[in-house]
Amino acid sequence: MDLLVYLNALTGLFVIIDPIGAAIIFHSLVPVGDKRHRRVMAIKAMLITTVLLIIFGNFGEAFLAKLGISIEALRISGGLLLFYTAFNMITQDQEYQVTTEKKDISVFPMSIPLTAGPGSLTLAILMFSDVNNVTEEISVILAILTITVLTLVLMLLSGFVKVLIGRTGDEILRRFLGVILAALAIQFIYDGIVQMVASASQTLGS
pLDDT number for residue 146: 98
Residue 96 has pLDDT above 80, yes or no: no
**For the packed helices 134-156 and 158-205, what is the interaxial angle rounded to 10 degrees?**
150
The predicted model gives 20-26 an average pLDDT of 85
| Structure confidence at residue 100 (pLDDT) | 62
pLDDT tops 90 at residue 67: no
Q: Residue 206 carries which side chain, given as an amino acid letter?
A: S
pLDDT digits (tens, 9 = 90+) for 148-178: 999 999 999 988 887 888 777 777 877 887 8
What are the tens digits of pLDDT across the range 111-144? 987 898 777 888 899 899 889 999 999 999 999 9
According to the model, what pLDDT value does residue 137 have? 95
More confident residue, 90 or 100: 90
Q: Please answer whether residues 57 and 131 qualify as being in contact, where contact means their C-beta atoms are separated by less than 8 angstroms.
A: no
Q: Which pLDDT score, from 0 to 100, does residue 68 have?
A: 86
pLDDT at residue 189, as a whole number: 87
Q: Is the pLDDT of residue 55 over 90?
A: yes
Q: Which residue has the higher pLDDT, 25 or 11?
A: 11
3-state secondary structure the chain: CCHHHHHHHHHHHHHHHCHHHHHHHHHHHCCCCCHHHHHHHHHHHHHHHHHHHHHHHHHHHHHHHHCCCCHHHHHHHHHHHHHHHHHHHHHCCCCCCCCCCCCCCHHHHHHHHHHCCHHHHHHHHHHHHCCCCHHHHHHHHHHHHHHHHHHHHHHHCHHHHHHHHHHHHHHHHHHHHHHHHHHHHHHHHHHHHHHHHHHHHHHHHC
8 Å CB contact between 90 and 179: yes
CA atoms of 56 and 128, how far apart (whole Å):
10
Mean pLDDT rounded to a whole number for the chain: 86
- Residue 97: predicted pLDDT: 58
The confidence score (pLDDT) of residue 98 equals 58
pLDDT number for residue 86 = 78
**Burial of 4 by CB count in 10 Å (0-12 exposed, 13-18 middle, 19+ buried)?**
exposed
- Model confidence at 38: pLDDT above 80: yes
